[in-house]
């Protein structure tokens, strides 16, 4: 797994290997989504697209046969439910931490770093401008998801409002992405086979470099205060 081959054939082999390992797929999704909610570099969209592609491969055993007879593939509808619950519950957990432990958390450097400077100013501006709708907007904004949802709890946004708004946003975005990729995955596979997926690998590497450099810069700015 850690020696991932980014060639088109290597990527297809990697995804097809997990098409008939639903337990591992669902477990990975939960781990990555919770990591993403807490600000770690695990892009939600990348996880959803990858999950949908795995489901597409499992739905086409004639092209991507199971490793043994009777193997159970990833079910797209179960996958949609797992992805939604992982995304929503991870958001809700961050909100609850802010609501019930906010004052204590502000003593920790990591949380202080997330809640000060430009990030905090942006969150405050959004709250003043959009009010409770920020509960759903933060989840679509890289870098603001964790501090934004934490702020929703700290600033006293009613729990029912957070659940309703964030849950609705997750419900209309998460399952639909998984279903779309699982249904029209043939296009992605064709791009893989045409070697155009190298662009995806390059984009991912660029994103990770940018994200790490951004975090290092934020840490230096925080330490200088």
- pLDDT of residue 200 exceeding 70: no
Collapse the DSSP code of 138 into the 3-class scheme (helix H, G, I; strand E, B; otherwise coil) and give the result: helix
pLDDT digits (tens, 9 = 90+) for 96-142: 998 988 777 777 776 666 666 677 788 888 888 888 888 888 888 77
Binned at pLDDT 50, 70 and 90, residue 1 comes out as: very low
Q: Cβ distance 73 to 61 under 8 Å?
A: yes
Q: How many residues does the chain have?
A: 225
Q: What angle do CA 94, 99, 103 make, to 5 degrees?
A: 105
Task: Calculate what percentage of the chain has a pLDDT beyond 90.
Answer: 30
Q: What are the angstrom distances between the C-alpha of 21 and each of 18, 55, 58, 70, 184? A: 5, 10, 10, 12, 21
Q: Report domain extents, the chain.
A: 8-204
At 2 the pLDDT is 42
Query: 3-class SS at 210?
Result: helix
- pLDDT of amino acid 96: 94
Name the nearest CA neighbour of 53 among 8, 85, 88.
8
- Predicted confidence (pLDDT) at residue 77 exceeds the cutoff of 80: yes
Q: Give the CA angle between residues 41, 43, 44 to the nearest 5°.
A: 135
What is the C-alpha separation between 117 and 175, in angstroms, rounded?
34
In Å, the largest CA–CA distance within the chain is 62
Q: Are 153 and 95 in contact (CB under 8 A)?
A: yes
Higher pLDDT, 198 or 122: 122
For residues 70 and 153, the model is more confident at 153
Exposed / middle / buried, residue 200 (Cβ in 10 Å: 0-12, 13-18, 19+): middle
Ranges 35-44, 46-55, 135-144, most confident: 46-55
What single string gives the DSSP state of each residue in 20-75? T-HHHHHHHHHHHHHHHHTT-S--HHHHHHHHHHHHHHHT-TTTS--SSTTPPPPP
**At residue 38, does pLDDT exceed 50?**
yes
Sign of the CA dihedral 123, 141, 172, 97?
negative
Q: What pLDDT score was predicted for residue 118? A: 74
Query: How much is the average pLDDT of 52-73?
Result: 87
Packed helices 76-105 and 159-183: angle between N→C axes, nearest 10 degrees:
150
Query: In which residue are the tokens 């797992």 written?
Result: 82
Categorize the per-residue pLDDT at 191 as very low, low, confident or very high, splitting at 50, 70 and 90.
Answer: low
């Amino acid at each position: 797994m850690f020696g991932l081959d980014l060639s088109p054939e290597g990527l297809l082999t990697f995804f097809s290997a997990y098409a008939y390992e639903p337990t591992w797929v669902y477990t990975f999704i939960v781990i990555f989504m919770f990591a993403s909610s807490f600000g770690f570099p695990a892009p939600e969209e990348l996880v959803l697209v990858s999950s949908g592609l795995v489901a597409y491969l499992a739905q086409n055993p004639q092209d991507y046969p199971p490793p043994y007879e009777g193997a159970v593939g990833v079910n797209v509808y179960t996958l949609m439910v797992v992805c939604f619950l992982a995304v929503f519950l991870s958001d809700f957990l961050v909100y609850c931490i802010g609501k019930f432990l906010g004052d204590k958390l502000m003593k920790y450097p990591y949380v202080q770093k997330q809640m000060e400077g430009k990030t905090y100013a942006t969150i405050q501006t959004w709250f003043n401008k959009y009010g409770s709708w920020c509960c759903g907007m933060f989840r679509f904004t890289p870098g603001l998801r964790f501090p934004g949802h934490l702020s929703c709890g700290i600033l006293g946004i009613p729990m029912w409002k957070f659940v309703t708004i964030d849950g609705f946003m997750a419900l209309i975005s998460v399952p639909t992405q998984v279903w779309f990729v699982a249904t029209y995955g043939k296009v992605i596979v064709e791009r893989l086979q045409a070697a155009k997926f190298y662009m995806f690998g390059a984009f991912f590497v660029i994103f990770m470099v940018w994200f790490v450099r951004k975090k290092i810069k934020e840490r230096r700015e925080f330490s200088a205060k």
